[in-house]
Chain A
Protein backbone atom coordinates (compact mmCIF):
# COMPACT_ATOMS: atom_id res chain seq x y z
CA UNK A 1 0.00 0.00 0.00
CA UNK A 2 1.21 3.48 -0.83
CA UNK A 3 -0.01 5.05 2.41
CA UNK A 4 2.56 5.64 5.13
CA UNK A 5 1.80 5.65 8.87
CA UNK A 6 0.89 9.35 8.82
CA UNK A 7 -2.10 8.70 6.57
CA UNK A 8 -5.20 9.25 8.71
CA UNK A 9 -7.72 6.48 8.27
CA UNK A 10 -11.30 7.23 9.29
CA UNK A 11 -12.48 5.56 12.46
CA UNK A 12 -14.96 2.70 12.70
CA UNK A 13 -17.71 5.04 13.93
CA UNK A 14 -17.33 7.15 10.81
CA UNK A 15 -17.53 4.17 8.48
CA UNK A 16 -20.18 2.00 10.14
CA UNK A 17 -23.75 3.17 9.70
CA UNK A 18 -26.96 1.36 8.98
CA UNK A 19 -27.00 0.73 5.22
CA UNK A 20 -30.02 0.55 2.95
CA UNK A 21 -30.28 -3.22 2.61
CA UNK A 22 -32.76 -3.44 -0.25
CA UNK A 23 -32.75 -5.34 -3.49
CA UNK A 24 -32.39 -3.64 -6.85
CA UNK A 25 -36.06 -3.98 -7.94
CA UNK A 26 -37.24 -2.12 -4.83
CA UNK A 27 -34.61 0.58 -5.30
CA UNK A 28 -35.47 0.96 -8.99
CA UNK A 29 -39.17 1.14 -8.20
CA UNK A 30 -38.77 3.93 -5.65
CA UNK A 31 -35.70 5.63 -7.18
CA UNK A 32 -37.46 8.79 -8.34
CA UNK A 33 -39.16 9.34 -4.98
CA UNK A 34 -36.07 8.68 -2.86
CA UNK A 35 -34.05 10.90 -5.14
CA UNK A 36 -36.58 13.70 -4.79
CA UNK A 37 -36.85 13.29 -1.01
CA UNK A 38 -33.05 13.43 -0.58
CA UNK A 39 -32.42 15.95 -3.33
CA UNK A 40 -30.33 18.41 -1.30
CA UNK A 41 -28.26 15.72 0.41
CA UNK A 42 -27.55 13.99 -2.90
CA UNK A 43 -26.49 17.18 -4.63
CA UNK A 44 -24.28 18.18 -1.71
CA UNK A 45 -22.59 14.77 -1.71
CA UNK A 46 -22.04 14.63 -5.45
CA UNK A 47 -20.67 18.19 -5.49
CA UNK A 48 -18.27 17.36 -2.67
CA UNK A 49 -17.21 14.21 -4.45
CA UNK A 50 -16.53 16.03 -7.70
CA UNK A 51 -14.51 18.73 -5.90
CA UNK A 52 -11.99 16.46 -4.25
CA UNK A 53 -10.02 13.33 -5.07
CA UNK A 54 -10.15 12.13 -1.49
CA UNK A 55 -12.99 9.82 -0.32
CA UNK A 56 -12.30 10.75 3.33
CA UNK A 57 -13.42 14.33 2.75
CA UNK A 58 -17.03 13.43 1.83
CA UNK A 59 -17.81 10.75 4.41
CA UNK A 60 -20.10 13.03 6.47
CA UNK A 61 -22.09 14.01 3.38
CA UNK A 62 -22.32 10.35 2.37
CA UNK A 63 -23.66 9.40 5.81
CA UNK A 64 -26.30 12.12 5.49
CA UNK A 65 -27.38 10.70 2.13
CA UNK A 66 -27.71 7.17 3.49
CA UNK A 67 -29.53 8.31 6.62
CA UNK A 68 -32.02 10.34 4.55
CA UNK A 69 -32.67 7.40 2.21
CA UNK A 70 -33.12 5.06 5.13
CA UNK A 71 -35.62 7.38 6.85
CA UNK A 72 -37.67 7.63 3.65
CA UNK A 73 -37.61 3.88 3.10
CA UNK A 74 -38.78 3.26 6.65
CA UNK A 75 -41.70 5.62 6.06
CA UNK A 76 -42.58 3.70 2.89
CA UNK A 77 -42.35 0.40 4.74
CA UNK A 78 -44.86 1.61 7.29
CA UNK A 79 -47.33 3.09 4.79
CA UNK A 80 -46.96 1.67 1.27
CA UNK A 81 -45.29 -1.71 1.57
CA UNK A 82 -47.91 -3.56 -0.50
CA UNK A 83 -47.85 -1.13 -3.43
CA UNK A 84 -44.05 -0.92 -3.53
CA UNK A 85 -43.72 -4.67 -3.45
CA UNK A 86 -46.20 -5.04 -6.31
CA UNK A 87 -44.24 -2.57 -8.43
CA UNK A 88 -40.92 -4.20 -7.51
CA UNK A 89 -42.06 -7.68 -8.45
CA UNK A 90 -43.44 -6.33 -11.73
CA UNK A 91 -40.09 -4.68 -12.51
CA UNK A 92 -38.25 -7.86 -11.64
CA UNK A 93 -40.02 -9.71 -14.43
CA UNK A 94 -40.01 -6.80 -16.90
CA UNK A 95 -36.58 -7.57 -18.31
CA UNK A 96 -32.98 -7.13 -17.34
CA UNK A 97 -32.98 -3.35 -17.64
CA UNK A 98 -36.07 -3.08 -15.39
CA UNK A 99 -37.76 -0.61 -17.70
CA UNK A 100 -40.85 0.88 -16.10
CA UNK A 101 -42.85 1.08 -19.35
CA UNK A 102 -44.45 -2.30 -18.74
CA UNK A 103 -45.33 -1.56 -15.10
CA UNK A 104 -47.41 1.61 -15.30
CA UNK A 105 -50.47 -0.18 -13.92
CA UNK A 106 -48.74 -0.95 -10.62
CA UNK A 107 -46.82 2.32 -10.61
CA UNK A 108 -49.94 4.50 -10.47
CA UNK A 109 -51.26 3.21 -7.09
CA UNK A 110 -47.74 3.31 -5.66
CA UNK A 111 -47.34 6.93 -6.75
CA UNK A 112 -50.67 7.83 -5.16
CA UNK A 113 -49.84 6.05 -1.90
CA UNK A 114 -46.41 7.66 -1.62
CA UNK A 115 -47.92 11.10 -2.20
CA UNK A 116 -50.47 10.52 0.54
CA UNK A 117 -47.91 9.13 3.00
CA UNK A 118 -44.96 11.46 2.47
CA UNK A 119 -46.20 14.32 0.31
CA UNK A 120 -43.61 13.69 -2.38
CA UNK A 121 -44.75 13.88 -5.97
CA UNK A 122 -43.06 12.03 -8.80
CA UNK A 123 -40.76 14.53 -10.56
CA UNK A 124 -41.30 15.21 -14.23
CA UNK A 125 -39.56 13.21 -16.95
CA UNK A 126 -35.90 14.18 -17.20
CA UNK A 127 -35.75 15.92 -13.81
CA UNK A 128 -32.67 13.99 -12.70
CA UNK A 129 -31.04 14.01 -16.14
CA UNK A 130 -31.02 17.77 -16.52
CA UNK A 131 -28.41 19.96 -14.81
CA UNK A 132 -29.49 20.67 -11.24
CA UNK A 133 -28.12 23.78 -9.60
CA UNK A 134 -27.12 23.57 -5.96
CA UNK A 135 -26.18 26.26 -3.47
CA UNK A 136 -23.88 25.21 -0.66
CA UNK A 137 -22.45 26.87 2.45
CA UNK A 138 -19.52 24.47 2.58
CA UNK A 139 -16.10 25.93 1.87
CA UNK A 140 -14.38 25.02 -1.35
CA UNK A 141 -11.71 22.41 -0.55
CA UNK A 142 -8.07 23.29 -1.10
CA UNK A 143 -5.93 20.97 -3.13
CA UNK A 144 -3.15 19.78 -0.79
CA UNK A 145 -0.76 19.62 -3.74
CA UNK A 146 -0.97 23.39 -4.24
CA UNK A 147 0.07 24.08 -0.60
CA UNK A 148 3.26 22.05 -0.62
CA UNK A 149 6.42 23.70 0.70
CA UNK A 150 9.54 22.68 -1.11
CA UNK A 151 12.99 22.45 0.43
CA UNK A 152 15.32 25.25 -0.57
CA UNK A 153 18.56 23.93 -2.02
CA UNK A 154 21.71 24.60 0.02
CA UNK A 155 23.46 27.81 -0.93
CA UNK A 156 20.31 29.34 -2.40
CA UNK A 157 20.71 32.54 -0.34
CA UNK A 158 24.02 33.33 -1.98
CA UNK A 159 22.69 32.76 -5.52
CA UNK A 160 22.37 35.76 -7.88
CA UNK A 161 19.06 37.60 -8.02
CA UNK A 162 18.07 36.38 -11.49
CA UNK A 163 18.11 32.80 -10.23
CA UNK A 164 16.34 33.67 -6.96
CA UNK A 165 13.50 35.49 -8.72
CA UNK A 166 13.13 32.98 -11.51
CA UNK A 167 9.54 31.82 -11.99
CA UNK A 168 9.23 28.10 -12.42
CA UNK A 169 6.04 26.39 -13.47
CA UNK A 170 5.56 23.18 -11.56
Chain B
Protein backbone atom coordinates (compact mmCIF):
# COMPACT_ATOMS: atom_id res chain seq x y z
CA UNK B 1 0.00 0.00 0.00
CA UNK B 2 1.69 3.02 -1.24
CA UNK B 3 1.59 5.90 1.16
CA UNK B 4 0.33 9.22 -0.28
CA UNK B 5 2.82 11.97 -0.25
CA UNK B 6 2.46 14.33 2.77
CA UNK B 7 0.87 17.67 1.91
CA UNK B 8 0.56 20.58 4.34
CA UNK B 9 -2.83 22.51 4.34
CA UNK B 10 -2.16 26.06 3.51
CA UNK B 11 -4.36 29.24 3.31
CA UNK B 12 -5.95 29.89 -0.06
CA UNK B 13 -4.03 31.90 -2.50
CA UNK B 14 -4.37 35.59 -1.83
CA UNK B 15 -5.20 34.93 1.87
CA UNK B 16 -8.51 34.50 3.78
CA UNK B 17 -11.44 36.88 3.30
CA UNK B 18 -11.50 39.83 5.66
CA UNK B 19 -13.74 39.43 8.77
CA UNK B 20 -16.93 41.51 8.59
CA UNK B 21 -17.05 43.40 11.86
CA UNK B 22 -18.30 46.64 10.51
CA UNK B 23 -21.23 48.14 12.52
CA UNK B 24 -24.57 48.28 10.64
CA UNK B 25 -26.93 50.72 12.44
CA UNK B 26 -30.75 50.29 12.09
CA UNK B 27 -32.55 52.43 9.60
CA UNK B 28 -34.03 55.59 11.13
CA UNK B 29 -37.70 56.06 10.22
CA UNK B 30 -38.45 58.93 12.61
CA UNK B 31 -36.40 61.81 13.81
CA UNK B 32 -36.01 62.53 17.49
CA UNK B 33 -38.00 65.72 17.28
CA UNK B 34 -40.88 63.97 15.54
CA UNK B 35 -41.08 61.25 18.21
CA UNK B 36 -41.04 63.80 21.02
CA UNK B 37 -43.84 65.92 19.56
CA UNK B 38 -45.91 62.86 18.59
CA UNK B 39 -45.79 61.48 22.16
CA UNK B 40 -46.70 64.86 23.60
CA UNK B 41 -49.66 65.33 21.23
CA UNK B 42 -51.04 61.84 21.92
CA UNK B 43 -50.79 62.41 25.67
CA UNK B 44 -52.72 65.65 25.46
CA UNK B 45 -55.44 64.21 23.22
CA UNK B 46 -55.97 61.13 25.40
CA UNK B 47 -56.04 63.28 28.54
CA UNK B 48 -58.84 65.36 27.02
CA UNK B 49 -60.76 62.20 26.14
CA UNK B 50 -60.24 60.74 29.58
CA UNK B 51 -61.46 63.92 31.23
CA UNK B 52 -64.59 63.99 29.09
CA UNK B 53 -65.37 60.35 29.86
CA UNK B 54 -64.73 60.89 33.54
CA UNK B 55 -67.17 63.77 33.70
CA UNK B 56 -69.72 61.86 31.67
CA UNK B 57 -69.44 58.92 34.04
CA UNK B 58 -69.74 61.18 37.10
CA UNK B 59 -72.87 62.82 35.65
CA UNK B 60 -74.38 59.42 34.96
CA UNK B 61 -73.76 58.29 38.52
CA UNK B 62 -75.12 61.55 39.92
CA UNK B 63 -78.31 61.24 37.85
CA UNK B 64 -78.73 57.66 39.05
CA UNK B 65 -78.16 58.66 42.69
CA UNK B 66 -80.72 61.46 42.33
CA UNK B 67 -83.40 58.97 41.39
CA UNK B 68 -82.48 56.66 44.26
CA UNK B 69 -82.62 59.49 46.78
CA UNK B 70 -85.95 60.75 45.42
CA UNK B 71 -87.55 57.32 45.81
CA UNK B 72 -86.09 56.52 49.25
CA UNK B 73 -88.87 58.13 51.40
CA UNK B 74 -91.59 56.25 49.51
CA UNK B 75 -89.81 52.93 49.99
CA UNK B 76 -89.08 53.54 53.66
CA UNK B 77 -92.62 54.69 54.48
CA UNK B 78 -94.02 51.48 53.03
CA UNK B 79 -91.35 49.36 54.66
CA UNK B 80 -91.85 50.82 58.14
CA UNK B 81 -95.57 50.04 57.99
CA UNK B 82 -94.92 46.47 56.89
CA UNK B 83 -92.33 46.13 59.65
CA UNK B 84 -94.75 47.23 62.38
CA UNK B 85 -97.38 44.83 61.03
CA UNK B 86 -94.85 42.02 61.20
CA UNK B 87 -93.90 42.86 64.80
CA UNK B 88 -97.54 42.80 65.88
CA UNK B 89 -98.08 39.48 64.13
CA UNK B 90 -95.09 38.06 65.99
CA UNK B 91 -96.54 39.33 69.27
CA UNK B 92 -99.89 37.64 68.63
CA UNK B 93 -98.15 34.46 67.49
CA UNK B 94 -96.21 34.34 70.76
CA UNK B 95 -99.43 34.58 72.76
CA UNK B 96 -100.80 31.50 70.96
CA UNK B 97 -97.61 29.44 70.92
CA UNK B 98 -96.60 30.00 74.55
CA UNK B 99 -100.04 29.86 76.20
CA UNK B 100 -99.47 26.39 77.74
CA UNK B 101 -96.01 27.14 79.09
CA UNK B 102 -96.26 27.76 82.85
CA UNK B 103 -94.81 30.94 84.29
CA UNK B 104 -94.38 32.52 80.83
CA UNK B 105 -94.88 36.28 80.41
CA UNK B 106 -95.15 37.91 76.98
CA UNK B 107 -91.95 39.68 76.02
CA UNK B 108 -90.02 38.12 78.90
CA UNK B 109 -87.79 35.15 79.36
CA UNK B 110 -90.23 33.28 81.64
CA UNK B 111 -90.86 36.05 84.18
CA UNK B 112 -87.59 37.94 83.79
CA UNK B 113 -87.63 41.10 81.67
CA UNK B 114 -85.06 41.10 78.89
CA UNK B 115 -83.94 44.68 79.52
CA UNK B 116 -83.99 45.85 83.13
CA UNK B 117 -83.51 49.58 82.76
CA UNK B 118 -85.48 50.31 79.56
CA UNK B 119 -88.91 51.97 79.76
CA UNK B 120 -91.87 49.68 79.11
CA UNK B 121 -92.88 51.37 75.87
CA UNK B 122 -89.40 51.58 74.36
CA UNK B 123 -88.68 50.37 70.85
CA UNK B 124 -85.59 48.34 70.06
CA UNK B 125 -85.10 46.60 66.76
CA UNK B 126 -85.02 42.83 67.40
CA UNK B 127 -82.31 40.64 65.94
CA UNK B 128 -82.87 38.73 62.70
CA UNK B 129 -83.16 35.39 64.50
CA UNK B 130 -85.90 36.85 66.67
CA UNK B 131 -87.74 38.43 63.75
CA UNK B 132 -87.93 35.11 61.89
CA UNK B 133 -88.35 32.89 64.93
CA UNK B 134 -91.60 31.44 63.60
CA UNK B 135 -90.32 30.91 60.07
CA UNK B 136 -89.35 27.44 58.83
CA UNK B 137 -85.83 26.20 59.43
CA UNK B 138 -85.04 26.20 55.72
CA UNK B 139 -85.84 29.91 55.53
CA UNK B 140 -83.54 30.67 58.45
CA UNK B 141 -80.73 28.70 56.82
CA UNK B 142 -81.41 30.73 53.69
CA UNK B 143 -80.85 33.96 55.65
CA UNK B 144 -77.53 32.62 56.89
CA UNK B 145 -76.52 31.82 53.32
CA UNK B 146 -77.19 35.42 52.23
CA UNK B 147 -76.47 37.65 55.22
CA UNK B 148 -76.35 40.80 53.10
CA UNK B 149 -80.00 40.29 52.20
CA UNK B 150 -80.84 41.61 55.68
CA UNK B 151 -78.26 44.37 55.80
CA UNK B 152 -79.96 47.60 56.84
CA UNK B 153 -79.00 50.18 54.26
CA UNK B 154 -81.17 52.84 55.91
CA UNK B 155 -80.62 52.64 59.66
CA UNK B 156 -82.89 54.72 61.82
CA UNK B 157 -81.49 57.81 63.57
CA UNK B 158 -78.89 57.93 66.29
CA UNK B 159 -79.56 57.90 70.02
CA UNK B 160 -79.95 61.52 70.98
> Closest approach, in angstroms, between the C-beta of B124 and any C-beta of chain A?
6
> Closest approach, in angstroms, between the C-beta of B54 and any C-beta of chain A?
15
Mark each residue of chain A from 47 to 63: 1 if its CB lies under 8 Å from any CB of chain B, else 0: 00111111110110111
* A163 in contact (CB, < 8 A): no
> Closest approach, in angstroms, between the C-beta of B44 and any C-beta of chain A?
27
* A4 in contact (CB, < 8 A): yes
Q: Pick the residue among A19, A65, A123, A146 that contacts B73 (CB under 8 A).
A: A65
* B63 in contact (CB, < 8 A): yes
Q: Which residues of A contact B158 (CB under 8 A)?
A: 50, 53
Contact B64 A55 (CB under 8 A): no
* B70 in contact (CB, < 8 A): yes
Q: Tell me, in angstroms, the Cα distance from A72 to B106 when the chains sit together.
A: 43
Contacting A at CB under 8 A, from B40-82, are 59-60, 62-74, 76-78, 80-81
Q: Pick the residue among B63, B73, B114 that contacts A100 (CB under 8 A).
A: B63
Q: Tell me, in angstroms, the Cα distance from A129 to B69 when the chains sit together.
A: 7
Contact A148 B119 (CB under 8 A): yes
Q: How many A-B residue pairs have CB under 8 A?
A: 169
Q: Tell me, in angstroms, the Cα distance from A132 to B80 when the chains sit together.
A: 23
Q: A1-B94, A7-B120, A34-B70 are in contact. Are A59 and B157 (CB under 8 A)?
A: no
Mark each residue of chain B from 111 to 141: 1 if its CB lies under 8 Å from any CB of chain A, else 0: 0011101111111111000100100000000
Mark each residue of chain A from 10 to 53: 1 if its CB lies under 8 Å from any CB of chain B, else 0: 10000111011000000110011011101001100110011111
Q: A28-B67, A101-B60 are in contact. Are A4 and B108 (CB under 8 A)?
A: yes
Q: Which residues of A contact B62 (CB under 8 A)?
A: 125-126, 129
Contact B81 A6 (CB under 8 A): no
Q: Which residues of A contact B159 (CB under 8 A)?
A: 53, 143, 145
Interface band, chain A: 35 or more
Q: Which residues of A contact B72 (CB under 8 A)?
A: 42, 46
* B99 in contact (CB, < 8 A): no
Q: A62-B80, A129-B69 are in contact. Are A2 and B115 (CB under 8 A)?
A: yes
Q: Tell me, in angstroms, the Cα distance from A10 to B114 when the chains sit together.
A: 22
Q: Which 3 A-B pairs have the closest CB atoms?
A: A35-B70, A62-B77, A4-B107
Interface residues of A (CB under 8 A from B): 1-10, 15-17, 19-20, 27-28, 31-32, 34-36, 38, 41-42, 45-46, 49-56, 58-59, 61-63, 65-66, 69, 97, 99-101, 123, 125-129, 141-146, 148, 150
Interface residues of B (CB under 8 A from A): 59-60, 62-74, 76-78, 80-81, 83-85, 87-88, 90-91, 94, 105-108, 113-115, 117-126, 130, 133, 156-160
